[in-house]
Every structure is written in C-alpha cells, then in structure tokens.
A and B are shown apart, each in its own frame.
Chain A
Amino acid sequence: MKLEIRNLETDILIIGGGTAGCFAAITIAENSEVKVMIAEKANIKRSGCLAAGVNALNAYIVKGQTPETYLNYVKNDAEGVVREDLVYTIAERLNAVTAKMETLGLVTLKDGKGDYVSRGTRNIKINGENIKPLLAEAVAKSPHVTVLNRVNMIDYIVEAGKVVGGYGFSLDNNTFYVISAKAVVCTTGGAAGLYKPNNPGFSGHKMWYSPFNTGAGYAMGIRAGAEMTTFEMRFIALRCKDTIAPTGTIAQGIGAQQINSVGEEYEKNYGAPKTPNRMYSTVSENKKGRGPCYLKTVGITERQEEDLYKAYLNMAPAQTLRWLENGKGPATENVEIEGTEPYIVGGHTASGYWVDTRRGTTLEGLYAAGDVAGGSPQKYVTGCFAEGEIAALTVLAYIQGKKNSRPSSQDAEKKLAVVNQFLQDNKSSLYAVGEVEEAMQKVMDEYAGGISTGYTFNYPKLQVAKERIKELLGISYQLTAKDLHELMLIYEVVDRLYVCQTLIGHLEARQETRWHSFQENADYPQRDDEHWLKYVNSHFAEGKVQIILRDLVAKDDIYEHKDR
C-alpha cells in the first residue's frame, strides 16, 4: 500500500478533538464565521482521556473562594514553580465555562437554592459520563466546523518559520492529508505509555490516562523546534490497584483516609497533604515494608457503597466490575492503592508547550491548550475548556488579514515518502512495533525513574536511558507496517521516543528534588529554592535537547515571547 496526497484548506486547524479542542472549535464558531477543521485520530464522540466520562469537575471557584485562592492553592501544591499568569487566566474563566457546559446539557448537582453542590473546596458534582458526546453534538451544530475523524496527524507544516498547517494520514484509506491553515491550535493531550505500566502484560492499556494519548502534540512541537517547559514534573497518580481507577472519588466522596497494612493513617507523617506527597507517602510506606496501602472504606453504609458503584460506572467502570466480580465491595474490604507509571500531562502538572499569556507557542502561528500546554497544573477538565477558549480568541485575532500558504509540492512529497517508507508490502522489519514500545518502556522504567525504582533516578542512569532511547529512535524508523493501524502505532512510538528524549533532558537539568516521586533526583535529594525557583525549558536543535532556564512569571504579567 502507498498513500496519496490530498490537499485541504481551512482557516484554523485544530489538532485533537478532545476537551480543549472541541471547546476551542465551539468558541470560534460562536465568535466568527471562519472555517475550522478538527483533525482527530479517533472519533470526537469518545476520543481522548474523557472517553469513559469524568466523575466531577475538579476546578471550580466555589462560594467563598476566588480566582486568587485557586491560584494560591495551585502554586502551593506545585511548590512555587507555576506560571501564575496562566493559572490565573484559567481560574477567571472556570465558572463561565462550567455554565456553558450546563447549557450544552451537562448534568450538575444543585442544592435547594440553585447553587452547585461542591465536593471539597474546588470541585462540583456532575454526571460526566456523556461529556464527550455532549461536546461532539455541540461541535456538530457549530457552523463552519468540519471534523476529520480517524485522521492521525504527524507533523506541522512550517513555512518561513511559521506554522501553516499539518500533515496526517487516514486510518481508513490511503489518503495522506496536507492541510493548509492560517493558524494551528494544538490540543492533542498529554503522553501515556512512556514507562512500563502497572499491568505490563495483556492489560497493558488498563492505565489511568488514555493509552491513545501518546504525546503527538509534544512530539510535533519538539521536532519543529518549539520551546517546552517543566517536563521533569511528571504526573504519577495514586490509583486503585489493578484497575488504575481514580481514588479521589472515594477519598473526597466518603472522606476515606490512606492507611498502611497495620491500619495506621500515614499521610500526616510526610508533611503537608500536597498531591505529590499523597503519592510519595504511599511509595515510602511500601519501601519500609508497611504495604499494601489502602483507602479505608470498611464500614461505609450500603447506600454509600451503591453510590460508589454508580459513580465509578460513570467514569471508570472496571472498578465497579472488580468489586462486584469479587463479591467484596468497599464496605467489606478496603481499597488497595498504588502509584501509576509516570505520565507527561499538562492538565495535572506543568509539562508542555511554553506558551505566552495568550497561549501562543514559541512558533508563530501555533497555539496550544489543555493537557498539551505547560505552566499551569491542576487545570483539569474545566481548565482545559478555559484554555481552549483563550486560545480560540487569540487565534481569531491572529488570522485577521492572513492568507493561506501551502508547502511546495516537493516538501509534501518528501514528507509522504517518509510515511510510505513504513508501508513496504514486500518488506518486514526485524523488530515489530510492539517490541520497540516494550523496549522503550523498560528503559524508562529502569533508568529514568519508573515504578520499579520507586520513581528515583540519578545522572548515570539517565545517561543509559538517553543512549538507549536514541538507539530505539533509530530502530523505529526501520519499522514496517502491514496496515494503517500499524502505521499509527509506529508514529505513536516515534512520538513517545521524542517525548522521552526531552523528558530525560529535563530530569537531568533540575538539580534538586522539588516534587517527591514526580521528580525524585537521587543526586540532589533536597529542594533548593536558592537556585531552582525557575522553569526548566528546552528546545530540540541539532539533534540535542537544549536546556533554557527561565525566571518565574507573576500573576499580573502579560508574558510575551521576546526572543523567539
């Protein structure tokens, strides 16, 4: 099989039809009549990390709180290294985007006075099972928005230093898309599957973050030379054992505490109850021989148990099946917890594109929002909506007076030739794509702070990882695909290897330990505010990850890329 070029043209290309991408498209349609094209590798009805649903909205300014208190919480939880301008501009929009989702059909829980019922100080209760179908319906009703489902984008089109579109291929037929746009919004989500997962065998994809979010947006940006930030702040989630289902629903819903195997509530022994510490305390208890650790649920009422079953069906149904299959629900057996493999995900930590306050990346014509955009942890679903909205309004202003340009046919043919090289009917590579994936995950696990090392790494280990990832990248370009699905798998592995390279560079650069477990540097086990209240940024040039250290940006700053 060989792919053939099909040229398309739009005003704004959105890559990734998830939370941020769909919201950006809806916003553009409401504020203009420009043409939007969403390129989505699956189908926007159930694509991305919210395929199964979402249990609650975890970023909302509840009564008595303000955008300032939200910013303070995020800043404190991230040990000071956040982009305050980004967090604050998100916080200002959280409630309006929530109200908007309600008009699109999202079911929320309200009290007698019509106020949302909160779960803690920043969360509200909803039924989020159908959040993606609701977004997809709203996109379908938006005039001038075209959706290209089952199209896997692989690189940006860059002309004279500007991003003017993207290349991708269909999963259904031999079409190679060359999409020309006046500007591009990247909303591809974060990266899972970099490290050996909790379930390394048959259930390898039973992970918390979507295994289909493979860091394509990061990788496209890295290859095009975009600046990235804070990859070293990995996200490691504390999750229910085996099913890797969220724990917050139990912890916040019924107030369950974390206990070790002798029944001690251990979290308080590890400092302030910050996100990394919930993880770190559990890892430490296991290391000290006091595992397994649990959420203490025994003794909850039958009603509470039934409500938990339903809450999980609306977001992580495997956990409900697990409880019922065993015949032991949370009322009779505590829920065992474990840490996941590390992910790179800008909706939870600060990893991603280095953007200005208006969400422009360091590449002209390219904007980023949601999990792929960095600097702003704990944005969660509503924060991704907010960021999609900000990016949409910025890009609308940017395209005024701009014309489409398209790559020379030589450039497009050159790109196509690289893709077609993987599709040689009479050639079969020595390694299969799955083997390269497994090798990458093993290297990252053992040498770049995965589960098996208690998330700890040091300089000599990172050098081994760096060397091997480079070799695997070489091998991956020799792979062959027998169909379009395999071609997608090859690109997913290539993208993750690029993300790994940048990640290793960042882990090496931050010479302190700022976030336990997330960034556990054995050479520098202490936090060092004197030298490291800084962003670790990078860009990829001349085959190397080049590190740039940048000073912190304050809440009211309007940050612009001065040196791009």
Chain B
Amino acid sequence: MSIKIDSQLCSGCGKCRLVCPGSLLYEDNAGRTEIRYPGECWGCTSCVKECDFKAIKYYLGADMGGNGSFMYTKREGQLLHWIIAKPDGSEKRLTTDKSKANAY
C-alpha cells in the first residue's frame, strides 16, 4: 500500500506533511514533498485528500493485487471526486458528498 508523489505537480505547500498519521512525509531538498518510508504507508488517503494539485497518486502494492491503476482526488465544495486512472489511460470517477451519510 502506498502513494507516489509527482514532483512536477507538487507545489510544496506541505499540507499533506502535517496530516500523515505515520509521519512519513518530508520536505525534500527542492522544497517539495517526498514519502521517505513508502513501505510504512497505511493507505488511509489522508494526504491524498489534502492535495489540491493532484500530485499524490494512491496505488495498491503489487503484493496485494495492484495492477497499475492509481487514484487521486479533487475537491469541489462538499463534494470529493475520486478519480481512478487505469494503465490504458481510461478514468473512472466516483463522487462522495460530505453532507450525505453512507447508504450502508
């Protein structure tokens, strides 16, 4: 379980660094964020949801069935869009609404 941070997209705002429950994210030499301990990631997506720059890509390790897809989020008011990008370039979008309870 882990994330990859796209250094081209990372703005270095540091919001993600503050929330990681494992304190795994650090500022690199260029002022951007790096994950220093990828194997320690729990997969909670706290950092992903903080990122306004689509820079944090959340993926499943190959050892748990990962097959090349990744997920990132985009916030729009109360809505949170979860975009799943597949290796063939296709995307699937799911939207959760902060103001609505789960059906289950």
Q: Do A and B bind each other?
A: yes
Give the interface of A toward B (CB within 8 A).
Answer: 41-43, 45-48, 51-52, 55-56, 107-109, 117, 119, 125-130, 149-150, 171, 199, 201-207, 210-212, 242-243, 249-250, 252-254, 306-311, 313-314, 317-318, 320-322, 324-326, 485, 488
Say which residue of B1, B20, B99 sits within 8 Å of A203 (CB atoms). Answer: B1
Is the beta-carbon distance between A325 and B102 smaller than 8 angstroms?
no
Say which residue of A119, A309, A318 sits within 8 Å of B60 (CB atoms). Answer: A318
For B102, give the chain A residue with the smallest CB separation: A311
A199 partner residues in chain B, CB cutoff 8 A:
1, 61, 63-64
Is the beta-carbon distance between A317 and B82 smaller than 8 angstroms?
yes
Is the beta-carbon distance between B104 and A55 smaller than 8 angstroms?
yes
For the complex of A and B, 10 pairs with smallest distance between CB atoms:
A253-B104, A109-B101, A206-B1, A307-B103, A203-B61, A46-B46, A51-B44, A52-B44, A325-B69, A242-B64
- For window 1-50 of B, CB contacts with A under 8 Å fall at 1-2, 18-23, 36-46
* Interface of chain B: mostly helix, strand, loop or mixed: loop
Is the beta-carbon distance between A125 and B61 smaller than 8 angstroms?
no
State in angstroms the CA–CA spacing of A318 and B44 once bound together: 8
25 CB < 8 A contacts A-B: A41-B23, A42-B22, A43-B21, A46-B46, A52-B42, A52-B44, A52-B46, A107-B99, A127-B102, A130-B98, A202-B39, A202-B61, A205-B40, A206-B42, A210-B42, A243-B64, A307-B102, A309-B94, A314-B102, A317-B45, A318-B60, A318-B64, A321-B60, A325-B68, A326-B67
Is the beta-carbon distance between B39 and A310 smaller than 8 angstroms?
no
State in angstroms the CA–CA spacing of A55 and B19 once bound together: 20
Is the beta-carbon distance between A42 and B102 smaller than 8 angstroms?
no
Is the beta-carbon distance between A308 and B104 smaller than 8 angstroms?
yes
Answer yes or no: B77 CB below 8 A from chain A CBs: no
A109 partner residues in chain B, CB cutoff 8 A:
101-102
Is the beta-carbon distance between A310 and B69 smaller than 8 angstroms?
no
B101 partner residues in chain A, CB cutoff 8 A:
107-109, 117, 125-127
B30 vs chain A, min Cβ distance (A): 19
Q: B85-104 toward A: CB 8 Å interface, digit per residue (1/0)?
A: 01000001010111111111
State in angstroms the CA–CA spacing of A119 and B101 once bound together: 12
Say which residue of A205, A308, A317, A324 sits within 8 Å of B92 (CB atoms). Answer: A324
B84 vs chain A, min Cβ distance (A): 5
B61 partner residues in chain A, CB cutoff 8 A:
199, 201-203, 206
Say which residue of B82, B94, B103 sits within 8 Å of A253 (CB atoms). Answer: B103
Is the beta-carbon distance between B104 and A313 smaller than 8 angstroms?
no
A248 vs chain B, min Cβ distance (A): 9
A325 partner residues in chain B, CB cutoff 8 A:
60, 65-69, 84, 86
B43 partner residues in chain A, CB cutoff 8 A:
52, 205-206, 317-318
For B19, give the chain A residue with the smallest CB separation: A46
Is the beta-carbon distance between B22 and A211 smaller than 8 angstroms?
yes
> In the complex, which of the residues A207, A318, A322 has the most CB atoms of chain B within 10 Å of its own CB atom?
A318
Say which residue of A52, A203, A249, A322 sits within 8 Å of B45 (CB atoms). Answer: A52
State in angstroms the CA–CA spacing of A224 and B92 once bound together: 53
B15 vs chain A, min Cβ distance (A): 10
A321 partner residues in chain B, CB cutoff 8 A:
58-60, 69, 71, 84
State in angstroms the CA–CA spacing of A201 and B36 once bound together: 17
Is the beta-carbon distance between B40 and A129 smaller than 8 angstroms?
no
For A306, give the chain B residue with the smallest CB separation: B94
B93 vs chain A, min Cβ distance (A): 10
Given A205-B1, A252-B104, A314-B102, do A210 and B21 touch, yes or no (CB 8 Å)?
yes
Say which residue of B1, B98, B102 sits within 8 Å of A318 (CB atoms). Answer: B1
For A310, give the chain B residue with the smallest CB separation: B96
Is the beta-carbon distance between A310 and B22 smaller than 8 angstroms?
no
A326 partner residues in chain B, CB cutoff 8 A:
65, 67
State in angstroms the CA–CA spacing of A317 and B96 once bound together: 12
B25 vs chain A, min Cβ distance (A): 11
A230 vs chain B, min Cβ distance (A): 26
Is the beta-carbon distance between B94 and A310 smaller than 8 angstroms?
yes
A529 vs chain B, min Cβ distance (A): 38
A370 vs chain B, min Cβ distance (A): 16
Is the beta-carbon distance between A42 and B21 smaller than 8 angstroms?
yes
A308 vs chain B, min Cβ distance (A): 7
B103 partner residues in chain A, CB cutoff 8 A:
125, 253, 307, 310-311
A243 partner residues in chain B, CB cutoff 8 A:
60, 64
State in angstroms the CA–CA spacing of A203 and B58 once bound together: 13
State in angstroms the CA–CA spacing of A314 and B46 once bound together: 11
B21 partner residues in chain A, CB cutoff 8 A:
42-43, 46-48, 51, 210, 212
Given A41-B23, A309-B94, A313-B96, do A324 and B84 touch, yes or no (CB 8 Å)?
yes
For B39, give the chain A residue with the smallest CB separation: A202
